[in-house]
Amino acid sequence: MSQRTTFLFTTRRAITVMMLCLSIPIVATAQTITLEVGIGATKGLNDPYLANYIVKAYEFIVGSIGIVAAVMIMFNGFRWVTAGGNSEAITVAKGGVTNAIIGLLIALMSYVLLNTINPALVGYAELEQSTIEFREPVTTSTAAMLSGEISDDPTLISYMTSEEGLPSDLKPYLENQASEPHITQTTFDALSSALKLLRDNAEYQGMKLVIASANRSLDTQERLWACYQSKETTGSCPGGACGTCNQAAKPGKSRHGYGNALDISWKNTGGGKYVTTTGYASSSWHDSCMVSQSGSNCTTNLRNSVIALNTMMQSAGFSRICIEWWHHQIGGSSDSLCSPGQYK
């Protein structure tokens, strides 16, 4: 096979492949990608019209073919003029000009074909750049970088420090087990109200609140979510750091991350009317005792103690999600909240 024939065959094959690729219909529309895990207060991630980039790439290729064809025509024309009567050189030059013209015609025909099929395939559309907008974190804690609704008072304070924490006369009524004892001012005020009820109401004398969890970092919520998903997938809890694999919100969706939720039980420190509920904060116990009113660890005294705790916390300004008797929060969707006595 001659050099000219090889070049012509290769050129035609390449252009044919290009036309087949470019003849695939392209829908030039934008996509909005919603982030599952919030980062600050993100807005949608706007896809920058990928189809338009393909159109631009096609236009660049066609333009490049036109330029290359023009250069090849001029180059081979020059070779033809300077062949000096050499028939072999003239033949090669003619072949180069012919191949360039054929390539140019095929490129132009592809444009006409695609434009006939759908003008949008070769039409001009201004490209847009994608952007992600970030809002400054509401606190220096990574737990504050959340998506969705933000607390009315985004400043997290510690209820354990002497500077901004609880008054000394309320501290005896609280036992903190939370590793991150930070909450919003609104939650702090509701907690203070609950502790005042323990201090001042004879109904609750001898009882002490126990906080197992307050503010949570995204890392902590991710671990709890992974544990819950593992239990849902395999049917068993891996234990260890997963504890009882209670139901958990997706990272960035828990109100613990806002500083607007507390996991609270209480204990009888002596002479109290109600029994200790600490140690029963699990989904399995909640479902068996508070919902089905059955189970070996389910007693009337325990149920009444949980209901009394929920009643007091509601009086202090907290809401409670139905599926966790120990989870008390400020605000939230009414669809998932229950009054004392409701547990499903």
Q: What is the DSSP string of 28-42?
A: ----EEPPSS--SS-
Transcribe 239-272 into DSSP letters.
-GGGTT----PPTTT-TTTTT-EEEEEEEE-SS-
Q: With contact defined as beta carbons under 8 Å apart, do 178 and 214 qualify? A: yes
In this prediction, residue 85 carries a pLDDT of: 81
For residue 163, the tally of other CB atoms under 10 A from its CB is: 6
Please report whether residue 142 resides in a domain. no
Please report whether residue 144 resides in a domain. no
> Side-chain half-sphere of 277: how many Cα atoms within 13 Å?
33
Indicate the SS3 state at residue 295.
coil
Rounded CA gap, 79 and 67, in Å?
18
In this prediction, residue 194 carries a pLDDT of: 93
For 189-198, write each residue's pLDDT tens digit.
Answer: 999 999 999 9
Please report whether residue 134 resides in a domain. no
Same domain assignment for residues 283 and 154:
yes
Q: With contact defined as beta carbons under 8 Å apart, do 206 and 172 qualify? A: no
Between β-strands 207-213 and 319-320, what pairing exists: parallel, antiparallel or unpaired?
Answer: unpaired
Same domain assignment for residues 229 and 308:
yes
Same domain assignment for residues 60 and 191:
no
Rounded CA gap, 160 and 164, in Å?
8
Between β-strands 319-320 and 261-268, what pairing exists: parallel, antiparallel or unpaired?
Answer: unpaired
Same domain assignment for residues 226 and 273:
yes
In which domain, by residue range, is 201 found? 149-336
Please report whether residue 59 resides in a domain. yes
Best CA proximity match to 213, nearest among 170, 179, 171: 179
The first and second tokens of residue 246, run together, are 């209670």
Residue with tokens 């209901």: 307
In this prediction, residue 199 carries a pLDDT of: 93
Same domain assignment for residues 106 and 153:
no
Rounded CA gap, 164 and 14, in Å?
74
The kind and range of the H/E element at 119 are none
Q: With contact defined as beta carbons under 8 Å apart, do 102 and 96 qualify? A: no
Indicate the SS3 state at residue 329.
strand
Please report whether residue 342 resides in a domain. no
For residue 293, the tally of other CB atoms under 10 A from its CB is: 11
Q: What are phi and psi of 87, to 5 degrees?
A: -65, -35
Please report whether residue 129 resides in a domain. no
Same domain assignment for residues 85 and 207:
no
In this prediction, residue 203 carries a pLDDT of: 92
Same domain assignment for residues 117 and 153:
no
Q: How many domains does the chain divide into?
A: 2
Same domain assignment for residues 270 and 169:
yes
Best CA proximity match to 187, nearest among 245, 133, 102, 255: 255
Q: With contact defined as beta carbons under 8 Å apart, do 8 and 117 qualify? A: no
Please report whether residue 156 resides in a domain. yes
Please report whether residue 168 resides in a domain. yes
Residue 327, burial from CB neighbour count under 10 angstroms (0-12, 13-18, 19+): buried
Residue 171 sits in a domain of what CATH number? 3.30.1380.10
The alpha carbon dihedral of 8, 10, 13, 19 has a sign of negative
Q: Residues in the chain with pLDDT < 70?
A: 1-52, 120-155, 162-164, 333-335
Q: With contact defined as beta carbons under 8 Å apart, do 320 and 329 qualify? A: yes
| Boundary residue ending a domain (106, 121, 136) | 121
Same domain assignment for residues 186 and 89:
no
CA 167 to chain centre: 39
CA 28 to chain centre: 26
Same domain assignment for residues 250 and 102:
no
Same domain assignment for residues 16 and 59:
yes
